[in-house]
């Protein structure tokens, strides 16, 4: 389990005063308003920044960091990631997981047949869809519902699923 969680990617600048546009990786983009400091990850380096202001534009979060005051300084942050220490959010409720913790887990049926690894997870509005990819690149789409997802064990890196009819 990674110590840090990625909250979004800086994809552009906004205006001339050092604001950046962020594609959020969280369902609740208002989390940025509740976090006073974040880390910017570029390649393998982390640097801490204090958030001065948060606003929204379409599906993006616009952030002004305290020490970034020009478009040139903001431009240097493009394509980097905003990360936070996972402890800032506390414990998740039982049965709720960070997507980052599920990506890469091995997926087995309840009869111990190996299906592949979790490659991606996306939300359809009604539930999550787990994209499971085998060694040959074949994908299986599994709905993230209790009837299908039977057990998630982050520690052992394994998910047990029940393949209901139609999957």
Residue 119, domain CATH: 2.30.30.240
pLDDT tens per residue, range 68-82:
999 999 999 999 999
Residue 17 has pLDDT above 90, yes or no: yes
Task: Report the domain count for the chain.
Answer: 2
pLDDT tens per residue, range 39-62:
999 888 999 999 999 999 988 999
Q: Is residue 167 part of a domain?
A: no
Residue 38 has pLDDT above 90, yes or no: yes
How far apart CA 164 and CA 10 sit, in angstroms, is 40
Where is the domain boundary, 87, 107, 122?
A: 87
In this predicted structure, what is the pLDDT of residue 4?
Answer: 87
Strands (E), 43-94: 45-57, 60-65, 81-85
Q: Residues 82, 25: one domain?
A: yes
pLDDT tens per residue, range 102-123:
999 999 999 999 999 999 998 8
Q: Residues 15, 79: one domain?
A: yes
Q: What's the burial of 165, exposed, middle or buried (CB within 10 Å: 0-12/13-18/19+)? A: exposed
Residue 12, domain CATH: 2.40.30.60
Task: Average the pLDDT over 69-98 and give the result.
Answer: 90
Residue 162 near residue 150, CB atoms below 8 Å: yes
Question: In which domain, by residue range, is 60 found?
Answer: 4-87
Q: Residues 49, 118: one domain?
A: no
Tell me if the pTM is above 0.85.
Answer: no
């Amino acid at each position: 389990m990674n110590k840090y969680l990625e909250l979004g990617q800086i994809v552009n600048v906004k205006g001339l005063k050092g604001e950046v546009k962020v594609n959020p990786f969280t369902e609740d983009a208002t989390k940025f308003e509740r976090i006073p400091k974040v880390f910017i990850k570029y390649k393998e380096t982390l640097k801490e920044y204090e958030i001065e202001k948060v606003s929204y534009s379409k599906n993006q979060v616009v952030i002004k960091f305290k020490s970034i005051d020009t478009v040139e300084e903001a431009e240097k942050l493009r394509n980097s990631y905003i990360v936070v220490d996972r402890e800032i959010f506390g414990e998740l409720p039982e049965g709720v997981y960070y997507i980052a913790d599920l990506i890469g887990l091995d997926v087995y049926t309840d009869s111990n047949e190996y299906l592949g690894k979790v490659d991606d997870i996306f939300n359809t509005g009604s539930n999550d869809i787990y994209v499971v990819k085998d060694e040959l690149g074949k994908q299986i789409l599994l709905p993230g519902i209790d009837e299908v997802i039977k057990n998630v064990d982050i520690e052992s890196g394994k998910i047990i699923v029940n393949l209901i009819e139609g999957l």
